[in-house]
Amino acid sequence: MVVSETKPNPVGESKPRLDAREKVTGAAIFGDDIQFGNALLHARILRSPHPHARIISIDTRQAEALPGVKAVVTGKGFPGYIGLYLLDRHIFCRDRVRYVGDPVAGVAAISEAIAEDALELIEVEYEILKPVIDPEYGVSSEATLIHPELDQYQVASFILPQPNSNISNYFKIRKGDVDSAWDNCAAIVERKYRIPHIQHVPIEPHVAVAQVDASGGITLWGSSQSPFAQRNLIAQALGISQSDMRVIAPYVGGGFGSKAGVSMESLAVAIATKVKGRPVKLLLTREEEFFTAFVRQGLIAYFKMGCDGDGNLLAMENKFYWDSGAYTEYGVNITRASGYSSSGPYEVPNVKTDSYCVYTNHPVGGPMRGVGMPEMHAGLEQCIDELAQQIGMDQVEFRRINCVKEGSILVTGGKMHPTGLLQCLEKTAEAIGWGHKAEASAANKRRGKGLALMWKAPAMPPNAGSSAWVELAEDGRVTVGVGGQDLGQGSFTVAAQMAAAALGVPYEWVRVATPLDTRYSPYEWQTVASRLTWSMGNAVVNAAKDARQQILEMTAEAWDEDLENLDILNGMVVSYKSEREIPLENIVIYGLPKADDQGWIGGPVIGRGKFMPDYVTGLDPETGQGERAVVHYTTGAQAVELEVDLDTGQIEILRGAAAFDVGKAINPELVRAQIEGGFVQGMSSALFESLNLKDGYVQNPSFVDYRIATSSDVPGGIQSIIVEVPQDDGPWGARGVGEHSMVPTIPAIANAIYDAVGVRFDGPPFTAEKVYLTMLEAGIVK
C-alpha cells in the first residue's frame, strides 16, 4: 500500500497525536535567552506515522519556502550509521521507517510555531510494510525482516547478530546437562511471563542545543548521561574527528538510563550543520518523550526450574525474547546481561539459557535502571517461591540453601567473589517479620508478605574506562575533574569525599568541576551500569594519590626526610619523625625553597588518575562459559508487606525492607536514598506502569493515561539496610547500588499478593482491575 502524508498523523483511537504539545520549557536548563539570544533557532521533527513503511519520496520545497524557515533536513545528507554496540540506524531515516515516531525530516526556524507549521508542508510518500509487533513471532521465519541488511552492520565482537533474521543478538548458556537433570527433580515449575514496555518519564524532558562554527567545529549542549559516548558516536556518524565534536552536559533533571547514549541529540546536530553559526534547540514534548526517546524493553520469558526433595536447585532452563524495538544498539547488551545472569543469584549445576534480542516495530529499547534485571527477576523469583512451596519448604530457607556464596560456581563457569547476599536475605526477612502474619486492617482486606533476592553486574564492555584529575589552588583548596554525570544520585558528592580522603584534606575544601565538558573534563565511558562509585571512584582516588605523592616527594626533598615519615592530615603536611608541619597553602603552586637559597623544588600540583578493569574474559559463543564474565555482582534482598482490598482489588504497600551489599558505603545516606528511591520506582513499575501498544501505536503517551507512583503511594516505612563485604578492587571496597534496589521489587510484590489472596499473574502491572478480575476468576471473590 502506498500512502502520502503531508502532516503528522492526528490522534485516533489507535494512533497517538504527533503534533499535540504539552507545555514544557527548556529555557531554565540552558538559559537560552541569555546564552544564545536572538540567534537561537528552534527545531521540530517530522516523525513517521507508521510502524513500518518504505519511504518512496520526500518533498520539502513548500516547507523550505515558508518565511522564517532556515533549514529543512532529511536523511539524504546523512548516510552514516550510529549506535553503541550495534550501528543499525541513521540519524534521519533514509530508506524506511521502523516505528511510529522514527525521525523522517527536521526543520529549523526562527520560532517553534513556524517550525511546526513547516512540518505540515512536508510531503512524504510511503509504501506500507507489515509490522512485527511481537518478539516471539519476530524470531520466526514468517516475520518480515525489519533490518534486511543486518549482516552488514558494524557490531561489537561480543554481540552475535543472526543474519537474515530479526535477531540482533543471540546469547546462550550451556552449563552442565539440563536434560538429564529433570528426572532427578522432586518438583518442577514451568511458567511464562510477559513484561511490558515502560517509560523512564524523567521530569526534565530530553533537550539539546547544537551549534556549528565557521571552521566546522560542533558544540552540543545536552541533558546527557553520556557526553563522551555522544561525542564519539555522533562524530563517527558524521564522519568527522572526535576532536571537532564538543559536548557540554549540565546537571541532568532525571535520567534513569533514558539519557544515556544517543537518542535525539544527533538530530539537533544534523540540523545545525545546515545553519552554520546559528544555535539550534530541540526539545521533546512530553508526548514525544513517551515513545520517541528510549523505552524499557518488553520481555517474553519462559522459565523451567527443578529441585530435589531437600530443596537443592538441580536445573534451570530459560528462554528470553527481548522486545528491543526498531533499533537495538543498547538492547543487544541487555540481552547478553540477562543471559550471563540468567540463573539469578543462585548456584545451579545445570543451566540452559537462550536469550534473543529481537527487532520489532515498537519504540526503541534502551537502558533503564536495572538494565534487564528487573524484567528477568520478575518471573524468576516468583518461580523460586513456587518451587519452595511445592516441596513444603519455607521460601527464605529455600533461598538460604541455594543463594550464591563466596566460591559458588556461576552460570558462566567462574567463581563468585565474596558477597553478603546471605546476610541481606536474613536481615531483610527479620526486618519484615518473616514468619509472623499480622491481621488485616479490615474484614474486606487480606494481608501478605513477599520477598525476593537479586543480583546485577555492571552491564558494560570489558574495557570501559574512567579518568580523573585533581588540581590544587594557591590556598590549598582542591578541584576535581571527572567525566561521570550527577543525575541526583550524588556522584559528585562521592567523588569529592574520595578525593578529600585520599589526598588528606577536609571534604569542605573540595569541589567538582562542572558542567561536564568533553573539551576539558577527563574521559568517562558513560554514567550507566551503577559503575561510577567503583570505576570513576578508583580514578579519582588514583588522581588524588598522584597529587599527594607529588606534594610528599617535594616536601621530603626540601626537608631532607624519608618519604615514609611524611603524611598529609587535614590539609597539613606533617612529619612523624621531626614533627615539622606546613600547610598546603602556596606550596602546591609555588613549591618549597631549597636549603641555603639554592633554588626551588616543586611547582603547580596536578594529579592524574585512571582506571580500567583488565581481567574480564571472553565467553564461548556456544556455551557462554568463561573464566570471568563480569567485574563483580552487587547482591541484595527486598521484602514487602501489603494488603489487598477484596472489594476493589486495590493494593496498598504497608511497608518495605531491603538490604544490599554495597562493599563499602562511602556515603551511607546517599546509599539509603538509592535503596528507597529504587523501591518506589520498582513499586511504580509493579503496580501502575505499562506503555500500552496496539499495532505498533502507543495508546497512552501522557500522564493522563500513564500512571506513575506519587508520594501518596509510598509506604509509611522503608527500612534500608546496608551490608558491607568489601570488593577487592573497589575504592575502600565500594561497589555500586544505584540500579539494584529496583530489581527485586516486582517479584517481592507479586509473592506478597500470592501470600495474601493466592493468585498469580503473567506479568505486571498489578492494577486494581487486574487483581480484582483475577480473584473473581479464581473464585476468591464473587
* Catalytic center residues: 739
The whole-angstrom separation of Cα 220 and Cα 223 is 10
For cell 543487544, the residue is 332
In angstroms, the CA 559 to CA 447 distance is 71
Query: Please, how many CA atoms are within 13 Å of residue 674, restricted to the half-sphere of its CB?
Result: 30
Neighbours of 708 (CB within 10 A): 16
Q: Within 568-636, where are the H helices?
A: 587-590
Are 63 and 69 spatial neighbours (Cβ–Cβ below 8 Å)? yes
Identify whether 765 is preceded by a cis peptide bond (ω within 30 of 0): yes
Q: Count of CB atoms within 10 A of residue 367's CB?
A: 30
Identify the H or E element spanning 728.
Answer: none
d(CA 549, CA 480) in angstroms, rounded, equals 16
Q: How many residues does the chain have?
A: 782
User: If you compute the radius of gyration of the chain from its CA atoms, what whole number of angstroms results?
Assistant: 28
User: Under 8 Å CB-to-CB from 298, ≥6 apart: which residues?
Assistant: 135, 194, 195, 196, 197, 322, 323, 362, 365
Which three three-digit cell numbers place residue 686? Answer: 509493579
Is 461 exposed, middle or buried (CB count within 10 Å of its CB: 0-12, 13-18, 19+)?
Answer: middle
Q: Are strands 717-723 and 651-661 parallel, antiparallel or unpaired?
A: parallel
The residue to which cell 527500612 is assigned: 719
Three-state secondary structure along 674-717? Answer: HHHHHHHHHHHHHHCCCCCEECCEECCCCCCCCCCCCHHHCCCE
Residues 755 and 302: their CA atoms lie apart, in Å, by 23
533 closest CA partner among 392, 412, 674: 674
**125: its cell numbers:** 510518500
**Residues whose CB falls within 8 Å of the CB of residue 142, separated by 6 or more in sequence, listed in order:** none
Residue 390: CB partners within 8 Å, gap ≥ 6?
A: 187, 189
- Grid cell 512524504 is found at 124
